[in-house]
């Protein structure tokens, strides 16, 4: 992967911090499950992200009527995140899926 090197520090809610001194700043294209539009984003790589597995239950998704069409794609158990989208990249059209 090409890109300039830049130290990355990720802090979690529990106060844990992950540091990667060999992180690279790269450009990636990302899109939603049913979207035709690609969004170009600046991202940073991280080795050994090692975030705790997460769960999204059926009842949680059912409470969000705007997710009805993709509900089955959102329900999972013990999945470790592999992509993080920071608050600086949230927008009105930002919906994370698996």
Residues 22-27 have a mean pLDDT of 94
Q: Where are the beta strands (DSSP E) in 21-72?
A: 24-30, 39-44, 54-56
Average pLDDT of the chain, as a whole number: 84
- Domain map of the chain by residue range? 4-89
CB 47 within 8 A of CB 20: yes
Total-model pTM: 0.64
pLDDT (tens digit, 9 = 90+) per residue, 50-75?
778 889 999 999 999 988 888 888 89
């Amino acid at each position: 992967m090409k890109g300039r090197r830049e130290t990355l520090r990720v802090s979690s809610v529990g106060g844990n911090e992950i540091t990667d001194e060999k992180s690279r700043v790269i450009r990636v294209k990302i899109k939603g499950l049913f979207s035709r539009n690609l969004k170009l984003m600046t991202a940073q790589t991280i080795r050994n992200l090692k975030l705790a597995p997460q769960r999204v239950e059926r009842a949680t998704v059912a409470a969000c009527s705007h997710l009805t069409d993709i509900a089955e794609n959102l329900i999972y158990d013990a999945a470790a995140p592999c992509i993080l989208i920071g608050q600086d990249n949230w927008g009105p059209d930002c919906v994370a899926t698996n």
